[in-house]
Chains A and B, each alone.
Chain A
């Protein structure tokens, strides 16, 4: 009897857990998730001489049809593209060399020039790594638009394994 009770309680627990995980798919369906405006392409890992400033090229791609502000947009209100590495991770970011943006106009006002990145672009980061392997969680902040509308500014994680030798 006692064992039966324990068995029944266990069944009830598992049934409750299964129910808790049940997701109602009969409501309105979500639209497919949007692709991120900017994709980090490479490198996933890199080796650099320890304690010596070393240039590392970081490759990105802006999705077709979109543009993001360059590091030096023409307008003070626009959000520049900025790459950063948090302090204290064994890898220090000395400086970043950003590519020049290209001038770009929206069809709604051909007189107003924006300075943007489109397609493929590369940042040249000067890193100083302590000896050993470090998983660096860097960040890229940007703000993307298409020809008529803009998406909110976004910060994406950039994970690179940096080995100081």
Chain B
């Protein structure tokens, strides 16, 4: 009887250990798969073959931009497909990002300059791991901060919230600003990580517009 109890106890302990090992491993594999997916889409800086400035090469380049549906500041769902037929600059940015604040007035000017020719900027606020999806108070503060930013900068283009959910499909989004330039068919024609210059942004816009 006593021996049976010991055997049963050891067996239960072993089973619990197996269950824990399997669960921990499954969680680890899931996290790794997410990381691999994000890294698979991550852009990398490559030298220019013709001796020009280095440029970012993204696995998304030449492919349709991953679709999404995010809320704007009014709470309306906005889909990427809503902009089909226009050349698009998808600008992932954050309120805490200094370079984003520098480039936003350039984006506003370029958007106003080329909007009549079928160009649009779509701003996507992407705050990072500090802001959890279930943090309602934090989300509200974030909404207010983005709204204030939009008002101060007189941003005329759509501003979407919650870009963190696109981190996997858009290559990690672990630095801001990150911009994707899409042609009128929604295909990614250029990617930019970090701030460059208004002239470089304009060149990529013209490329997206097919000019």
Interface bracket on A: 20 to 34
Q: Which residue of A13, A27, A108 contacts B36 across the interface (Cβ within 8 Å)?
A: A27
Q: Which residues of B contact A30 (CB under 8 A)?
A: 32, 35-36, 39
The reply to whether A145 and B98 form a contact with Cβ atoms under 8 Å apart is yes
B19 to chain A, nearest CB (A): 10
> What residues of B have a CB within 8 angstroms of the CB of A75 in the complex?
98, 101
B194 x A148 contact (CB < 8 A): yes
- Contact between chains at A150 and B25 (CB < 8 Å): no
Known contacts A28-B36, A28-B39, A30-B39; A149/B96 CB under 8 A: no
A152 touches B130 (CB 8 A): yes
A31 CB-CB contact with B under 8 Å: yes
Residue B90 is within 8 A (CB to CB) of chain A in the complex: no
Kindly identify, within residues 163 to 211 of chain B, every residue whose CB is under 8 Å from any CB belonging to chain A.
174-178, 193-197
Q: Is the Cβ of A143 less than 8 Å from the Cβ of B21?
A: no
Contacts of A28 in B (CB 8 A): 36, 39-40
Which residues of chain A from 77 to 92 have any CB-CB distance to chain B below 8 Å in the complex? 77-79
Number of B interface residues in the complex (CB < 8 A): 38
CB distance from A38 to the nearest CB of B (A): 15
Q: Which residue of A lies closest to B149 (CB)?
A: A77
Residues of B1-50 at the interface with A, using a CB-CB cut-off of 8 Å, are 14, 18, 21-22, 25, 29, 32, 35-36, 39-40, 42
In the assembled complex, A11 has its CB within 8 A of some CB on chain B: no
Select from chain B the residue with minimum beta-carbon distance to A146.
B194
B18 touches A114 (CB 8 A): no
Q: Take A149-B194, A153-B96 as given contacts and tell me if A17 and B18 are in contact as well, using a CB distance cutoff of 8 Å.
A: yes
B39 with A31: CB separation less than 8 A: yes
Return the CB mask of A122-144 against B: 1 if under 8 Å, else 0.
Answer: 00000000000000000000010
Q: How far is the CA of A77 from the CA of B18 in the complex (A)?
A: 49
List 8 contacting pairs A-B, 8 Å CB cutoff, sorted by A: A17-B21, A20-B21, A109-B102, A112-B102, A150-B94, A152-B94, A152-B96, A155-B130
Show the binding face of A for B, using Cβ within 8 Å.
13, 16-17, 20-21, 23, 27-28, 30-31, 75, 77-79, 106, 108-109, 112, 114, 143, 145-146, 148-155
With A23-B32, A108-B195, A153-B130 given, name 13 new contacts (CB 8 A).
Answer: A13-B14, A17-B21, A20-B22, A20-B25, A75-B98, A78-B98, A106-B102, A112-B101, A145-B97, A148-B195, A149-B194, A152-B127, A152-B130
